[in-house]
Amino acid sequence: MHFRYLLSACLAVLAGALCSAPALANDLGSQHQGRLSLSSRQVPLPIGEWTVVGHGTNKLVSGAPGAFGMIENTILARRVDGRIDALIEINVNRLPVSNGWGSANACSAKDGLATVAFYKTGVDGFCLFVQPTELGAPNAPGPDAWLAARPLLHEGASPPSDLWLTVGFRVSDRRDVLDVRYHFDPSRLNLQPVPAQDWKLEAVLKAPDRYAAVNQLTTWGGLAAGLVQDGFWNSLSEQTATAALPNPWEVAISADTANGHPSTAATGRVSATARVDALDKLLASGVISAADHAAYLKAINDENAKPPPNPDDYYRLLGFKVISFNFFRVSVDYILAFVVTVNSLISGYITATIVATHSVAQVFNDMWWDNYIATQANSNTVDFVYIGSRSEGVS
């Protein structure tokens, strides 16, 4: 009898604990402000109350990072005046890999509205991109979590915009990945609905209002980038919960940028102002000396400092290298041929033949090595099923 009483009491306590347990971050209907924690990563949230409207697993549509395990997919929505005006889709891996996650196609897409590669190696990287996303149609494709949440977008007296504007981030290291995409209703940026072709890069460059909107979103992305990276490392401060990200249309940008003339100055944590402030704090705390502070400050303010070379610079310099090398090689070949033949015409013919055959061989040799290095660097594209993206097997 005493045993039965103890057993009943234990079961009652256990049931009470289960009923009072806090909801998981990805529970449908759970609400969040400031940030969302998901699989040891954190995602900063713009101002407002965000509701989890979809959660499930995702799959790869390109790339092969190995034993990637389950891809966790979560979708959040924010309602303003009874309508959804913004969505966030998040993809994280549950199990780590050992050789990196490659890159997202959007990080290097030639037709993207804006792309910023903060860093990229063979096994890790961090990029920002801005692109249009066709997610407003009743049958807009996406992962399973989206298919369940999609009807919520069409609640209300008027249908949603067919095309939304997306600011996306992909950050990864050798083991883990965080792919987060913020989708905003273009009407919040005072944009009128236009056909999808009017959001192609060439058309946007000729439309001041859309061009200014892209600059606005890129500036906001620069401000959010530091928080996204900190969230990837699960190191967002407690203040983030009360100091949420501003909305893109609330971010102050320069007059030139607002009028459709992009500024060349970096934004966010990489801006000169932010770096100078960080240096001042390091000096005040005694981490660096005054001499180091002066040297770093000079480097930041050096207007003549050249950016790191890009692929175009590499191939242009390679062309000059080939020309200069061939100049010396032709001279040597001609001299050697003339010493053997003692005939200027025959020597010129031999030299021309050597130059032609060796140049072609050199080009193919460089192409082979470029392909080999790219393969060894694991520079494959790893993409999941995204909202508004039509992939094989996605309805």
Tens digit of pLDDT for each residue in 130-171?
999 999 999 999 999 998 899 999 987 788 999 999 999 999
Q: Is 226 exposed, middle or buried (0-12, 13-18, 19+ CB in 10 A)?
A: middle
Pairing verdict, β 177-184 and 383-384: unpaired
Between 9 and 67, residue with greater pLDDT? 67
The stretch 211-231 carries a mean pLDDT of 92
Mean pLDDT score across all residues of the chain: 80
Q: What pLDDT is stored for residue 5 in this prediction?
A: 43
pLDDT digits (tens, 9 = 90+) for 225-259: 989 999 999 988 776 555 678 999 988 775 555 55
User: How many percent of the chain have pLDDT more than 70?
Assistant: 77
Rounded to whole angstroms, the Cα distance separating 2 from 34 reads 50
Contact 217, 165 (CB under 8 A): yes
End-to-end CA distance of the chain: 60
Measured at the alpha carbon of residue 312, what is the angle toward residues 309 and 317, in degrees to the nearest 5? 75
Please write the tens of the pLDDT for every residue from 326-354: 777 788 888 888 888 888 888 888 888 88
- Distance, in Å, from the CA atom of 40 to the CA atom of 234, rounded to the nearest integer, reads 6
Confidence of residue 11 (pLDDT cuts 50, 70, 90): very low
Q: pTM of this prediction? A: 0.70
Q: 109-134 pLDDT, tens per residue?
A: 888 899 999 888 878 899 999 999 99
Beta-carbon count within 10 A of 101 CB? 28
Candidates 171, 61, 65; CA nearest to 116 is 171
Average pLDDT over residues 267-296: 75
Domain ranges of the chain: 24-262+380-384, 271-305, 311-376
Mean pLDDT of 59-63: 84
